[in-house]
Amino acid sequence: MQRVLSLISVLFFLAGCLGTSLTGCGEGYDEMHAGDYSIDSITLDAATNQLSVVVKNVEGASGFIRENESLEQEQTIWITLQIQHNGQTTSIRGEDTGPSWTVTGDSGNGDSWSSTVTFTSPDGFCDSGCEEIRFTASYYDGVFYHDGTCESSPWFAV
């Protein structure tokens, strides 16, 4: 009988942590969910050691991936790709479109994300090895989660 009561009390407290979400991710997940993404492809060119990562918007909000003073905050999606290579972590944001990395959305002359966003490294970026990547996206008051999971930014092998 004592085991049954203990089990009931554990389930009672666990239910409070999980909230009413069908996914079991909890109340915070429901409040912050801005959409889902998936990793469409991770390509490492063997000849040039250039890394290319394509991220797909799955049932999520679309918006601009570069800040623009004329836009409302609600129209901007903040994106970051982290790459673990050579014992270091490098972060590339949507703003990083200089001579090294290219970050391009599929609409708005590459400045916005509707279906996909592509990160392309310079040649030789992975000369000393690229091990893993992690993508993060957030929107005005929400977070994009990976492919219907409770995780916003898991690591993926290159």
- 11: its two tokens: 């389930």
Sign of CA dihedral 84, 85, 89, 91: negative
Rounded Cα gap, residues 118 and 107, in angstroms: 12
Q: What mean pLDDT do residues 19-28 have?
A: 62
Q: Are 119 and 111 in contact (CB under 8 A)?
A: no
Rounded Cα gap, residues 107 and 152, in angstroms: 24
- 92: its two tokens: 């590339």
SS3 state at 41: strand
More confident residue, 73 or 151: 151
Rounded Cα gap, residues 60 and 98, in angstroms: 27
Q: What mean pLDDT do residues 53-80 have?
A: 83
Q: What is the pLDDT of residue 60?
A: 83
Q: What is the pLDDT of residue 148?
A: 84
* Mean predicted lDDT score pLDDT of the chain: 81
pLDDT at 11 over 90: no
Rounded Cα gap, residues 27 and 21, in angstroms: 7
Q: What is the pLDDT of residue 74?
A: 65
More confident residue, 18 or 58: 58
Q: What is the pLDDT of residue 20?
A: 39
Q: Are 149 and 37 in contact (CB under 8 A)?
A: no
Q: Are 44 and 53 in contact (CB under 8 A)?
A: no
Give pLDDT tens digits for 27-41: 788 888 888 999 999
Rounded Cα gap, residues 132 and 116, in angstroms: 20
Q: What is the pLDDT of residue 102?
A: 92
More confident residue, 156 or 5: 156
pLDDT at 70 over 50: yes
- Measured in residues, the chain has a length of 158
More confident residue, 6 or 118: 118
